[in-house]
Amino acid sequence: MAPELGIFALILAFILSLSQAFFGLTGAWRGKPVWMAVARPAVTGQFVFVVMAFACLVYSFVNNDFSVLYVARNSNSQLPLFYKVAALWGAHEGSLLLWILILSIWSLAVAAFSRALPLTFSSRVLGVMGLISSGFMLFTLWTSSPFLRLIPAAPDGADLNPVLQDFALAIHPPMLYTGYVGFSVAFAFACAAMLEGRLDQTWAKWTRPWTIFAWLFQTIGIALGSWWAYYELGWGGWWFWDPVENASFMPWLAGTALIHSLSVTEKRGIFKSWTLLLAIFAFSLSLVGTFLVRSGVLVSVHSFATDPTRGLYILAFLVLTIGGSLTLYAWRAPKLYAPGGFELFSREFFLLVNNVILAAVAALVLWGTLSPLVYELLGVGKISVGPPVFAVMFLVPMLPLMVFMAIGMHSVWRRGKLTATAKPLWWLACAAILLSLGVQGLVFGELHWLGLLGFSFGFWIIFSALLEPLRRLRQKQTLTAALLGMCIAHLGVGMFAIGASGVESYKIEKDVSLKPGGSFRIAGYDFKFVSAANVRGPNYDAVQAEVQVTRGGKPVTLLEPQKRHFWVQQTANSKAAISVNWARDLFVAMGDPLGDNAWSMRIQYKPLVRYIWLGAIVMALGGLIAATDRRYRVKVPAAAPGLVTPPDSRAELGSA
Amino acid sequence: MTPRRKRLFVVLGILGGVAASVSLAVMASRENIMFYYDPSQVALGKAPLAKRFRIGGMVVKGSVARKPGDLQVRFVLTDFAHEVPVEYTGVLPDLFREGQGIIAHGTMDSHGAFVADEVLAKHDEKYMPPEVAASLKNKPAAGAAAVKPTS
């Protein structure tokens, strides 16, 4: 009963989203308030029915209804309850339903918080979002329904893929999707502004908090994915430049650029068409990501089931969305030209540099991700682009970006000179280099060019980010949420730079063969394989090794990695054991029994690796603080069509 | 300098920077893009001898061998037309097993064996890397079941 109800609810939601799109868009076009008034209730209705459809699938999972094909494929009666629910988005069909649910939550939020906006504008925004959700619902109903029955029912399910039975991965897709889908709001705002033919600074002010929220969720989502890959896949790497990772990283880059260019559009009323283009790209890259993941055109560790129909549908949807929005852009953007100059080394200049570099990196990553396809289509051969290529493409533009970031935080609008607070910046740069040399020499005992660059830039950015908030605190001046958020987010970038360059410079990774009693030393730590024993989990058996870690004879920690064998899928999965502290991770993962009582083991020393994810969390926190700035709260329904706030010409700090 | 010219200067400068980084990336990638060859191409001597490349195929059942307690493992990869022996030293991925499609990165040694520095088996046990599936599909002798795409 539940799956049928689910399908029915999804069809109703589809019809409601169609009417949301139709009445929202044509109502605004024809200027009919009665039509436009339909859009909001349609959003609410759509939300209710999507939640119902989602609940039906959750119900089927929790109750082990293996007469539902999707449940039978992705769950099992022995699966712990938490993973039964998480299994819902463990494969293609269910993750689409999650996507739709999140989109309807965003739509509901937009509907709820856009009452202060002009009616035509908000109904256009909701109309565009209705188009997007109806596209995704049609896709789900047509090619990927999770509610199909399996007759006769399976006696038990095929189980969730063991590598997905993990906490971080259970919450990674919802976070990432919240980010992906959130860019649809910025996209809808951009389309609505173009349809309206009006894009002023209030528009940017409305769009900014939405974009920041989407961006911060995506930041967390990507960090979770990276953390998961690090401890769960058993390789100990934190980023693989896998097509699917790139698919999430490209919209993030475009979204980061968008946040910065929106600040110029808001403060100065310039960069308008560029901002629009970025809003279109951020969402389009999210769709490209979906296409790459779901169609199976690229080899990836994340490849879900591949199906040509699905690939074709997403491709068509992609062409329609990107083609449609770019056509609209070509038609409307020339009207939006706003004259306005700025000096070299003004804040506008620094943000322009930020945008150009981030866009270039996104383009390079896109090129690297797609070039295997291009090579194959050209018949040159089957190639793969290795991580070193991506590392160079990422690192080379990032170095100047970090310099511009450290200085740009202290620039002012219009005029090409820095604030008085920036005076210590130059000797702080020297201090950062000295500190970096000191850390390398004293802690790691070895100089490494990547470490030198990463530490120096990282420390410099952190110092620079702290300057202004500290000055204001000392002089008891007000510190706006936007300024504080900006500084904290940049502080996170500094932490990330230190973590990433530290682990890449000083990591030690060894694959060894150990017998009980044998030990191996890396980075001064002795890893002693004490014994191996059989243990039993809720749905697996495992061999658990006891590895004692000592340093100079003093005990450090006891690590217990497992090699799990899952009953249902008959697959092995190694669970790494990691000892964490503020300076380093010690990582042990079990390989295979090598005969003669020996086991292959992967032993790793990962200095500073935690600062990668901590940096990402701090970045997201900065976004959260900035988004709560009072400036973004639209209180009165003041902005009647045509009303334009005067350009804000004050040389004000703290809005980037 | 007029504001217009200044902006032109800025844009040109940035474009130059982007062009430089792109060409840098292209140069870097020439060293690091790896071509894919299947066991037949390798057996027929079409694969490069000095350069790293990727090879993919099925691990022949019963071919995985190692000295007890030794990290080095040998196995044979097949595309059902030709076979290539592979050597690897290190921890194999969880999903590596006989009869499974895998991809290995490495170089040929002088004895016609492929020395892998990385072995990849994908998450999904039913998953066949597309290249492997394609090279198996082109061989008439391939077992139909083995080539079945993921479902």
The sign of the dihedral angle between the CA atoms of A635, A638, A642, A647 is negative
- The CB density around residue B67, as the number of other CB atoms within 10 Å, is 12
Predicted confidence at residue A624, as pLDDT, reads: 97
Search chain B and give the residue with CA nearest A397. B21
CA distance A401 to A359: 12
Q: In sequence order, which residues have a C-beta less than 8 Å from that of residue A309 and are 6 or more positions away?
A: A143
Query: Which whole number is the average pLDDT over A531-540?
Result: 92
The answer to whether the CB atoms of B21 and A364 lie below 8 A apart is yes
Query: Which whole number is the average pLDDT over B115-142?
Result: 63
Nearest CB to A600: which of B10, B68, B71? B71
The answer to whether the CB atoms of A382 and B90 lie below 8 A apart is no
Task: Report helix, strand or coil for B55.
Answer: strand
Lowest mean per-residue pLDDT among A157-161, A600-604, A628-632, B31-35: B31-35
Please write down the long-range contacts of A397-403, taking CB distance under 8 Å and 24 or more positions apart.
A397/A357, A397/A360, A397/A361, A397/A364, A397/B17, A397/B21, A398/A357, A398/A361, A399/A453, A399/A457, A400/A353, A400/A357, A400/B17, A401/A353, A401/A354, A401/A357, A401/A358, A402/A457, A402/A460, A402/A461, A402/A493, A402/A497, A403/A457
Cα angle B33, A180, A93; round to 5: 90
Q: B34: which chain A residues are within 8 Å (Cβ-Cβ)?
A: 383-384, 386
Search chain B and give the residue with CA nearest A369. B33
Tens of pLDDT, residue by residue over A227-281, are 988 988 767 889 988 888 898 999 999 999 999 999 999 999 888 889 999 999 9
Predicted confidence at residue B130, as pLDDT, reads: 58
Nearest CB to B10: which of A349, A591, A594? A349
Cα angle B122, B123, B124; round to 5: 95
Predicted confidence at residue A568, as pLDDT, reads: 86
Partner A contacted by B129 (CB < 8 A) = yes
The answer to whether the CB atoms of B70 and A163 lie below 8 A apart is no
Chain A, chain B: beta-carbon pairs less than 8 Å apart: 131
Search chain A and give the residue with CA nearest B104. A384
Smallest CA–CA distance, residue B52 to chain A, in Å, is 11
Confidence of residue B140 (pLDDT cuts 50, 70, 90): very low
Q: Which parts of A197-242 fold into alpha helices (H)?
A: 201-232
> Does position A209 have pLDDT exceeding 80, yes or no?
yes
Tens of pLDDT, residue by residue over A550-578, are 999 999 999 999 999 988 888 888 899 99
Query: Which whole number is the average pLDDT over A90-116?
Result: 92
A179 versus B29: the higher-pLDDT residue is: A179
Lowest mean per-residue pLDDT among A201-215, A426-440, B12-26: B12-26
> Does position A468 have pLDDT exceeding 60, yes or no?
yes
Confidence of residue A80 (pLDDT cuts 50, 70, 90): very high
Give Cα separations from A275 to A264, A623, B27 (angstroms).
Answer: 9, 18, 32
> Does position B1 have pLDDT exceeding 60, yes or no?
no
Predicted confidence at residue A170, as pLDDT, reads: 86
Confidence of residue B148 (pLDDT cuts 50, 70, 90): very low
Predicted confidence at residue A531, as pLDDT, reads: 93
Residue with tokens 């989990």: A537
Confidence of residue A641 (pLDDT cuts 50, 70, 90): very low
Lowest mean per-residue pLDDT among A84-88, A189-193, A281-285, B19-23: B19-23
Disruptive mutation site among B29, B97, B117, B137 for chain A (greatest number of A CBs within 10 Å): B29
> Does position A638 have pLDDT exceeding 50, yes or no?
no
The answer to whether the CB atoms of A389 and B18 lie below 8 A apart is no
Answer for the pair A181, A103: CB distance below 8 angstroms, yes or no. Answer: yes
The answer to whether the CB atoms of B36 and A364 lie below 8 A apart is no
Smallest CA–CA distance, residue B62 to chain A, in Å, is 16
Share of chain A above pLDDT 70, in %: 94
A387 versus B142: the higher-pLDDT residue is: A387
Partner A contacted by B21 (CB < 8 A) = yes
Nearest CB to A163: which of B10, B33, B123? B123
Predicted confidence at residue B7, as pLDDT, reads: 63
> Does position A145 have pLDDT exceeding 70, yes or no?
yes
Partner A contacted by B74 (CB < 8 A) = no
The answer to whether the CB atoms of A596 and B68 lie below 8 A apart is yes
Residues β-bridged to residue B104: B55, B119
Predicted confidence at residue A643, as pLDDT, reads: 39
Search chain B and give the residue with CA nearest A235. B93
Task: Report helix, strand or coil for A358.
Answer: helix
> Does position B87 have pLDDT exceeding 60, yes or no?
yes
> Does position A130 have pLDDT exceeding 60, yes or no?
yes
The answer to whether the CB atoms of B92 and A600 lie below 8 A apart is yes
Q: B118: which chain A residues are within 8 Å (Cβ-Cβ)?
A: none
Smallest CA–CA distance, residue B29 to chain A, in Å, is 5
The answer to whether the CB atoms of B69 and A598 lie below 8 A apart is yes
Search chain A and give the residue with CA nearest B66. A594
The sign of the dihedral angle between the CA atoms of A463, A469, A473, A477 is positive
> Does position A302 have pLDDT exceeding 60, yes or no?
no
Query: Which whole number is the average pLDDT over B2-20?
Result: 70
Cα angle A410, A413, A419; round to 5: 30
The two three-digit tokens of residue A380, written as one number: 């040159």
CA distance A101 to A84: 18
> Does position B88 have pLDDT exceeding 90, yes or no?
yes
CA distance B130 to B150: 10
> Does position A656 have pLDDT exceeding 50, yes or no?
no
Partner A contacted by B28 (CB < 8 A) = yes
Nearest CB to B18: which of A301, A360, A591? A360
Partner A contacted by B8 (CB < 8 A) = no
CA distance A302 to A125: 33
Q: A601: which chain B residues are within 8 Å (Cβ-Cβ)?
A: 91
Tens of pLDDT, residue by residue over A353-366, are 899 889 989 988 99
Predicted confidence at residue B111, as pLDDT, reads: 86
The answer to whether the CB atoms of B124 and A389 lie below 8 A apart is no
pTM for this structure? 0.90
Residue among A547, A553, A535 nearest A579 (CA): A547
Predicted confidence at residue A377, as pLDDT, reads: 79
> Does position B38 have pLDDT exceeding 80, yes or no?
yes
Smallest CA–CA distance, residue B78 to chain A, in Å, is 18
Backbone angles phi, psi at A649, to 5 degrees: -100, 0
Query: Which whole number is the average pLDDT over A157-176?
Result: 85
Lowest mean per-residue pLDDT among A68-82, A297-311, B33-47, B69-83: A297-311
The answer to whether the CB atoms of B129 and A400 lie below 8 A apart is no
Identity of the amino acid at A524: G
Beta-sheet pairing, B114-120 with B83-89: parallel
Tens of pLDDT, residue by residue over B52-77, are 898 988 899 999 998 888 899 999 99
Beta-sheet pairing, B33-37 with B53-59: parallel
Predicted confidence at residue B29, as pLDDT, reads: 62
> Does position A651 have pLDDT exceeding 60, yes or no?
no
Q: A514: which chain B residues are within 8 Å (Cβ-Cβ)?
A: none
Search chain B and give the residue with CA nearest A562. B94
The answer to whether the CB atoms of B69 and A515 lie below 8 A apart is yes
Give Cα separations from A476 to A421, A425, B66, B77 (angstroms).
Answer: 15, 22, 70, 71
The mean pLDDT of chain A is 89
Ramachandran class of A327: left when φ > 0, alpha when ψ lies in -120 to 50, beta otherwise:
alpha
Partner A contacted by B19 (CB < 8 A) = no
Disruptive mutation site among B22, B55, B91 for chain A (greatest number of A CBs within 10 Å): B91
Confidence of residue A144 (pLDDT cuts 50, 70, 90): confident
Disruptive mutation site among B5, B30, B32 for chain A (greatest number of A CBs within 10 Å): B32
